[in-house]
Amino acid sequence: MSTLNFDTAGIDPAVPHSPVPPGEYILEIEDTDLRPTKSGEGEYLSVTFAIADGQYLGRKVFENFNLSNPNPEAERIARSQFAALCIAAGKAKVGDSIELHGTRIIGSVGVEKRKDSGELRNRVRGYQPLGGAFVAGVQSARPPAPPKPAGSAPPWATGKAAA
């Protein structure tokens, strides 16, 4: 048993937060931590963002980047996503993740269900520099579709379904 002499007077109790609504937010990279994967066969970079403006000021958004993984596709996707973050942050080369701390970017934040618990959580879907052009979408694992030839009719006009 421990003597605490704790008094709740003047302390607002913690309230659980639901995810912030999808949208674009100014995010500040607050913290980073390189951690082993559950299997111990790889590492991921855990990044904590703080919303830096607006109604959700101070709320946290978390993102993990599987930078070393036995699955080459998982690693490729994570490295591509992390590259998008680094470029948006204006850092073409990063020697230590602490170099990203305090950097502000615009993050396209979405909501998804966690696979392990079914709870809703935020995910950053893309990054862009403050005042700059869109850098990359996290979900763009495949190349964009080629442009349609000039003069071709849309599928709804020809009666044919899109492929």
Confidence of residue 48 (pLDDT cuts 50, 70, 90): very high
Measured distance CA(120)–CA(152) in Å, rounded? 42
Can you give the chain as a three-state secondary structure string?
A: CCCCCCCCCCCCCCCCCCCCCCEEEEEEEEEEEEEECCCCCCEEEEEEEEECCCCCCCCEEEEEEEEECCCHHHHHHHHHHHHHHHHHCCCCCCCCHHHHCCCEEEEEEEEEECCCCCCEEEEEEEEEECCCCCCEECCCCCCCCCCCCCCCCCHHHHCCCCC
How high is the mean pLDDT of the chain? 84
Give which of 57, 6, 64 is closest to 28, Cα–Cα. 57
- Check whether 144 has a pLDDT greater than 60: no
Tens-digit pLDDT profile for residues 67-119: 999 999 999 999 999 999 999 999 999 999 999 999 999 999 999 998 899 99
Instruction: Check: CB of residue 43 under 8 Å from CB of residue 68.
Output: yes
**Domain ranges (residues) in the chain:** 23-137
CATH topology of domain 23-137: OB fold (Dihydrolipoamide Acetyltransferase, E2P) (2.40.50)
Burial class (CB in 10 A: 0-12, 13-18, 19+), 56: middle
